[in-house]
Structure 1
Amino acid sequence: MEVLLGFHVVTASMALLSGFAAINLQRKAPLHRIAGKVYLLAWLGFAVSGLVIGARRPEVAPTEIITVIGLLVTMRAYWAVLNRKKLGRKWLQLHYSNMLSSLAFVCIATLNQILFRTFDLPSWFFWVLVALPFFVLPLYGNALNRRYALKGAQ
């Protein structure tokens, strides 16, 4: 179980780093695509390992629900890339809005794991952390809308 937990921590860390790298690199840059692929693989790794670790308990934890939703959002972002020709111009906004949400799920899970293991926090704090990124995401999404609208994103 320690190996699985180590794999889970490493892949979650990789997802955080590659996710922030991807959203800060220009979308047509080779490094953006590499970061995106690392992000997708890391997400798959930490999601599956997290669900396997969570399966040891009979109850379903809120973090497991968030992991499943986050994985679905991540796959939707990847689906937008794969179908960009069919989707036309709207693929890009669909991609980055889902990627931002996906990255929020990684941040939520990571913060909750670290904070609840380090401090004795009330259970309502979990839901505050769940909600917090979704107040910040629209601001970042608006900045990306402006960035790509100016460049005629397709």
Structure 2
Amino acid sequence: MTAADQAAYRMPTVVYSSWGLLHLVAALASLILGTAVLLLAKRGALHKRFGYGYVGSMILMLTTSFAIYRQYHGFGIFHVAALLSSVTLVLGMAPVLRKKPVRSWRQLHYSFMYLSVLELYVALVAEVLVRLPGLHFWEVASISLLAVMLPGAALFNHRRKQWHVGAPGAQYSPASSG
């Protein structure tokens, strides 16, 4: 088998640098922790620990994204997405840290953090699709958004009734207050 034949059968590289590896590890941690936080009872100690773990891993992932320029050889659309995701993360954590607005800070927190996790899944689908030959940017963006945001919005609409402060059947643990 020639070197060209071997190259054709070689598995594509997923990680190209130390920054890329750190970014990948942080992204995987964010996916696991973010999903766990959405599934856990709200306001419990485990929710808080996993939630802060999610925020920390997201900060690391978003920060390292700005050290990766392989695809566009400069600032690209994924960097714009990282900036938007950073804003969502800040908007999700600000109500928790400030406890304001007093009557709706939990709803704001739940809504923006849920959106943050959805954005993370959109990025995962886009990252997978961008590696497939023949798909153009707008196809990748459209498929990613539709595949994640439509079912995610439906699930959010269903679950937000449970998350509403004081709602019957809300997933709150009585052990912790907020």
TM-score (norm 1): 0.86
Q: Which runs of 5+ in 1 are unaligned?
A: none
Q: How far, CA to CA, are the matches of 2:155 and 2:32 in structure 1?
A: 17
Counterpart of 1:112 in 2: which secondary structure? Answer: helix
Tell me, yes or no, if structure 1 residue 92 matches structure 2 residue 106.
Answer: yes
Structure 1 contact 54–64 (Cα < 8 Å) conserved:
no
Larger helix share, 1 or 2? 1
TM-score (norm 2): 0.76
What are the superposed Cα offsets for residues 36-59 of structure 1, whole Å, 9 maximum, x if unpaired? 111101111111101121399554
Distance 1:146 1:41 in 2: 28
| Aligned 1:1-154 pairs, distance under 5 A | 2-54=17-69, 59-84=74-99, 86-132=100-146, 133-149=148-164, 150-151=167-168
CA distance in 2, matches of 1:83, 1:143: 27
Work out whether residues 108 and 129 of structure 1, in 8 Å CA contact, stay in contact via their aligned partners in 2: no
Greater C-alpha radius of gyration: 2
CA contact (8 A) 1:67 1:105 kept: no
Q: What is the CA distance between 1:130 and its match in structure 2?
A: 4.6
* Pair 136,89 (structure 1): closer, same or farther in 2 beyond 3 Å: farther
Letter aligned with residue 122 of structure 2 = I
Between the two proteins, what is the percent identity of the paired residues? 20
Deviations 1:51-88 (A, max 9, x none): 1213995543111111110111011101111122x322
Q: Could you list the runs of 5+ residues in structure 2 that have no partner in the other structure?
A: 1-15, 173-177
Higher relative contact order (CA 8 A, sep 6+): 2
**RMSD over aligned Cα, in angstroms?**
2.3
Please state whether the residue corresponding to 2:117 is helix, strand or coil. helix
State which drifts further: 120-129 or 51-60.
Answer: 51-60
